[in-house]
């Protein structure tokens, strides 16, 4: 019975397909229909990320699933949603680097930083998580200004507001675990946070750099990266919940994780509205 998502690399994919009978696995493209029409890995079935949860009945539980998107971010989100839907007999794979890696394109990324060591005191962990929420808030606010007056801009602004709400929730819990109550209000502390490091251990500049310059392509990349950001946050809070022994902390982390998953659904709907055709 498989519960974990397994990373598979482009060179391993070809070996896997050579050694595995077609009836024993499904190769699933979770991009949008327009992207799929422009080119896809031969034999791939299209199930866009926004439709994954509503089409789970098409994913036979005894089959191995290999998911891919453009660079691996959206497919990681899709794999997480499938995994959370319940146990499977088949294995669940995410193609690292996506179709871009499969086509041999160079992929640039920044290594993940271990920002939450196990021996870090709870109060410090919460403060750092609050600062990462500030980073996401800054990222979304900058982009909301760029797309001001559009449906996309409104959605991005709303995502930024959600990050501030999360930071406020973390502040409340953080305040309970300090040796003394914070001398300043949430608003004052949130204003001072620099938000330099976002989810995945990446600075805002690294996320911004991945958006590119092409106006049309930039919109798709924006929503794609937003999916990644929310997935990283979801994965972070789930991970913190698993390793914490404090029941109140566990419930707080799980609540935040579920809210991050809800953010992914908001972005998925936007993908369908903007790029569904």
Q: Is the pLDDT of residue 270 over 90?
A: no
Query: Are residues 134 and 235 located together in one domain of the fold?
Result: yes
pLDDT of residue 264: 84
Check which CATH number belongs to the domain holding 188 and give it. 1.20.1260.10
Check which CATH number belongs to the domain holding 98 and give it. 3.40.250.10
Query: Are residues 43 and 157 located together in one domain of the fold?
Result: no
Least confident of 28-32, 65-69, 96-100, 260-264: 260-264
Domain-located, residue 116: no
Token pair in block for residue 1? 């019975």
Question: Who's near 10: CB < 8 A, 6+ residues apart?
Answer: 95, 96, 97, 101, 102, 104
Domain-located, residue 155: yes
Q: Calculate mean pLDDT across residues 46-73.
A: 92
Query: Are residues 91 and 195 located together in one domain of the fold?
Result: no
Query: Are residues 126 and 242 located together in one domain of the fold?
Result: yes
- The three-state DSSP-derived secondary structure of the chain is CECCEEEECHHHHHHHHHHCCHHHEEEEECCCHHHHHHCCCCCCEECCHHHCHHHHHHCCCCCEEEEECCCCHHHHHHHHHHHHCCCECCCEEEECCHHHHHCCCCCCCCCCCCCCCCCCCHHHHHHHHHHHHHHHHHHHHHHHHHCCCCHHHHHHHHHHHHHHHHHHHHHHHHHHCCCCCCCCCHHHHHHHCCCCECHHHCEHHHHHHCCCCCHHHHHHHHHHHHHHHHHHHHHHHHHHHHHCCCHHHHHHHHHHHHHHHHHHHHHHHHHHHHHCC
Q: Calculate mean pLDDT across residues 23-51.
A: 92
Q: Is the pLDDT of residue 113 over 50?
A: no
Q: Does 52 or 230 have the greater pLDDT score?
A: 52
Domain-located, residue 168: yes
* Structural domain total, the chain: 2
Based on the residue annotation, tell me whether 227 is a catalytic residue of this protein. no
Query: Are residues 98 and 150 located together in one domain of the fold?
Result: no
Domain-located, residue 227: yes
- Residue 134, judged by CB atoms within 10 A of its CB (0-12, 13-18, 19+), counts as buried
Nearest to residue 137, comparing CAs of 183, 116, 168?
Answer: 168
Query: Are residues 199 and 83 located together in one domain of the fold?
Result: no
Domain-located, residue 271: yes
Domain-located, residue 109: no
Rounded CA separation 162/156 (Å): 10
Q: Calculate mean pLDDT across residues 106-131.
A: 70
- What digits encode the pLDDT tens for the residues 216-229? 788 888 888 888 88
Query: Are residues 18 and 55 located together in one domain of the fold?
Result: yes
Query: Are residues 90 and 167 located together in one domain of the fold?
Result: no
Domain-located, residue 71: yes
Q: Is the pLDDT of residue 94 over 90?
A: yes
Query: Are residues 169 and 243 located together in one domain of the fold?
Result: yes
Q: Containing domain of residue 126, as a range?
A: 122-275
Read off the pLDDT band of 105 (50, 70, 90).
Answer: low
Query: Are residues 35 and 156 located together in one domain of the fold?
Result: no
Rounded CA separation 261/120 (Å): 26
Domain-located, residue 114: no
Query: Are residues 128 and 251 located together in one domain of the fold?
Result: yes
CA 234 to centroid of chain Cα atoms: 7
Of the residues 13, 59, 67, 69, only one is catalytic, namely: 69
Query: Are residues 266 and 133 located together in one domain of the fold?
Result: yes
Percent of the chain with pLDDT over 90: 31
């Amino acid at each position: 019975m498989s519960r974990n998502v397994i990373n598979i690399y482009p060179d391993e994919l070809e070996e896997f397909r050579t050694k595995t009978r077609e009836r024993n696995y499904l190769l699933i493209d979770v991009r949008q229909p327009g992207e799929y029409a422009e080119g896809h890995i031969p034999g791939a079935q299209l199930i866009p990320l926004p439709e994954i949860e509503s089409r789970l009945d098409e994913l036979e539980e005894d089959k191995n699933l290999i998911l891919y998107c453009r660079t691996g971010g959206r497919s990681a989100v899709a794999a997480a949603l499938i995994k959370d839907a319940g146990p499977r007999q088949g294995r669940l794979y995410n193609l690292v680097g996506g179709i871009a890696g499969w086509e041999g394109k160079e992929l640039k990324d920044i290594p993940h930083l271990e920002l939450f060591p196990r021996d870090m005191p709870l109060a410090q962990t919460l403060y750092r998580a609050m600062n990462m929420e500030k980073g996401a808030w800054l990222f979304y606010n900058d982009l909301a200004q760029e797309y001001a007056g559009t449906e996309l801009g409104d959605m991005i602004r709303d995502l930024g507001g959600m990050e501030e709400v999360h930071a406020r929730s973390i502040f409340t819990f953080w305040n309970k675990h300090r040796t003394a109550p914070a001398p300043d209000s949430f608003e004052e502390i949130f204003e001072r946070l620099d938000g330099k490091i976002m989810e995945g251990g990446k600075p805002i500049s690294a996320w911004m750099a991945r958006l590119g310059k092409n106006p049309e392509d930039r919109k798709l990349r924006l929503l794609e990266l937003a999916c990644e950001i929310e997935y990283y946050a979801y994965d972070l809070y789930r991970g913190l919940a698993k390793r914490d022994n404090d029941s109140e902390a566990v419930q707080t982390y799980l609540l935040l994780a579920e809210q991050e998953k809800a953010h992914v659904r908001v972005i998925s709907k936007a993908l369908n509205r903007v790029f569904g055709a």
